[in-house]
Amino acid sequence: MSTHLTAGQQALLEAALVQRQHQLDRRLEDHHRGLSRVEHARELREQDHDDQPQREDERDVDMALSDLELREVGAVSAALRRLHAGDYGRCADCDAEIPFDRLKAEPWALRCVACEGQRERAPRP
C-alpha cells in the first residue's frame, strides 16, 4: 500500500471511487436503457427517419457522452485495481507520490499535478 496515505485517507478515496463507479454504472444503464452499446446505436440510427439531420447530431452527442462515461468507468476501475494492488497514489510518469488533495479532487488521477500539466501542454500528434 502507498505509505504517504493514511488508512483513513485510503478508505475515503476507495469509498469515493466505489461511489463514482456506481454512479457511472447507473448513468450508463439509464443512458442505454439496458441495451448494449451496439444495440443502442442501432436504435438511435433507426430513429433517423423522421428528422435525419437533427437525429444525426443527437446520435453523435449521445455516443460522445457514452464514450466519455466509458473512459471514466475504465479510469475508476483501474484506480481501484491499483488501490488493491498497493500501488495507488504514485505518479505513472515520475513515480512521485500524488498528494492527497489531488486524489481527493480526482481519485482516479494517474499523474501528479506537474506531470499532468506537462502532458496537457505537450503537442498532440
What letter represents residue 99's amino acid? P
Q: pLDDT (tens digit, 9 = 90+) per residue, 69-120?
A: 899 999 999 999 999 999 999 999 999 999 999 999 999 999 999 999 999 9
What is this structure's pTM? 0.76
Q: Per-residue confidence at 1, pLDDT binned at 50, 70, 90? A: very low
Please count the residues of the chain: 125
Domains of the chain with bracketed CATH: 7-121 (1.20.120.910)
Closest by alpha carbon to 105, among 94, 116, 96? Answer: 116
